[in-house]
Amino acid sequence: MRFERWFRLVWLVAAVALVLMLFAACGEEEKEKTPTATPAGTPSGTPAGTPAAGVPELQDGVLQVGSDIAYAPVEFFEEGTTTPLGLDIDLGNALAEELGVRTQFINTGFDGIIGGLNVSRFDVIMSAMTITEDRSKKIDFVPYLSAGTDILVPKGNPKNIGGIEDLPGLTAAVELGTIQVDQLKAANEELKAAGKAEINISTFDVNPLAVEQLHLGRADAVLADSPVVANDARLSEGELEALGLAIEAAPYGIGVRKASTELKAAIEDALQKVIENGKYDEILKTWGLEGGAIE
């Protein structure tokens, strides 16, 4: 009787242990199948089937954009914050939405921005960059807006400036690395060859510093892209005025590394969709740049 009870007890304990072992094994198998949670704010990668799924640079779920964020209204920080605003910001976000990723804007000095792209500090450039022959030798472009050079002068245009040809002997303030620097240098080469007075070119890291020189009377004019000059004149509350020029009008381009062929094709496709669905026109209208729309 005792042996029978003992045997039943042993059998019962063994059965319970077996059930617990099987339950634990199932639990471990289920645990292995459960994906690890992604921390908040961390991209989980580009989902399969999205337009960016085959693009190496976008596999982390982020389009990293290099931009000199001091060139309103194309890109600038909201006053008192680190929140980027502007045409390039809105358009970059619209493109990212089409690609199924999010954007990360990386503030970068314009003078070194192409070098930054080519050492993979970011995936693309969106920074009011005019497409030129020289720049096209270093990187590829996707055109998205047309603009030219304009000239900002004090109210009333006291030096009677009508164009670059009227700047010899005067001081022109300009941002480093811009096409306007090239235009002024080209003008000086012609003036030097003709034995005439040259333009005093005063360069600054960002456009607002150049405009400040005009306010302070240390410069006679500021050269920048036409949308930027118009915006600077508007913000000056009547102290400054734009001449309303569009010298050597040319398209802005989204800069892409020459090796990033898949990314370039994906951005071209996304831009076409943004144009077709009307978001492109809405963004240009928001920033008063409808006149720069590309066909």
pLDDT at residue 234 tops 90: yes
Residues 87 and 223 in one domain: no
Q: Do 90 and 71 lie in a common domain? A: yes
pLDDT score at 37: 32
pLDDT of res. 50: 84
Q: What was the pLDDT predicted at 43?
A: 46
Six-digit token pair at 97? Answer: 């939405």
Residue 120: strand pairing partners: none
Do 152 and 244 share a domain, yes or no? Answer: yes
Whether the pLDDT of residue 20 is over 90: the answer is no
Residue 24 pLDDT class (50, 70, 90 cuts) = very low
Backbone angles phi, psi at 221, to 5 degrees: -160, 155
CATH of the domain at 285: 3.40.190.10
Task: Say if residue 36's pLDDT is above 90.
Answer: no
Q: Contact at 8 Å (CB) between 58 and 96? A: no
Same domain, 132 and 78: yes
Reduce the DSSP state of residue 207 to 3 states and report it. Answer: helix
Q: 241 with 254, same domain?
A: no
pLDDT at site 53: 82
Q: How many domains does the chain have?
A: 2
Taking residues 18-35, report their average pLDDT: 39
When comparing pLDDT for 156 and 35, which is higher?
Answer: 156
Residues 236 and 261 placed together within one structural domain of the fold: no
Does residue 87 contact residue 74 with C-beta atoms inside 8 Å?
yes
Decide if 114 contacts 281 (C-beta within 8 A): no
Q: Does residue 198 share a domain with residue 288?
A: no
Q: Which tops the pLDDT comparison, 42 or 133?
A: 133
Q: Which domain holds residue 236?
A: 148-248
The verdict on residue 264 lying in a domain is yes
Q: What pLDDT sits at residue 262? A: 97
Q: Is residue 50 part of a domain?
A: no
pLDDT band at 25 (very low <50, low <70, confident <90, very high): very low
Same domain, 171 and 192: yes
Instruction: Quick: pLDDT tens for 68-101.
Output: 999 999 999 999 999 999 999 999 999 999 999 9
CB-based contacts of 267-270 (< 8 A; 24+ apart in sequence):
267/95, 267/99, 267/124, 267/142, 268/142, 269/51, 269/98, 270/51, 270/95, 270/98, 270/99
Residues 139 and 254 in one domain: yes
4 domain-assigned: no
**Chain-wide mean pLDDT for the chain?**
88
DSSP 110: G
Residue of higher predicted confidence among 65 and 20: 65
Instruction: Assess whether 211 and 159 both reside in one domain.
Output: yes
Does the pLDDT of residue 31 top 50, yes or no? Answer: no
Same domain, 123 and 215: no
Boundary (domain end) residue, out of 248, 266, 282:
248
Give domain status of residue 3, yes or no.
no
Considering the domain architecture, whether residues 134 and 263 belong to the same structural domain is answered as yes
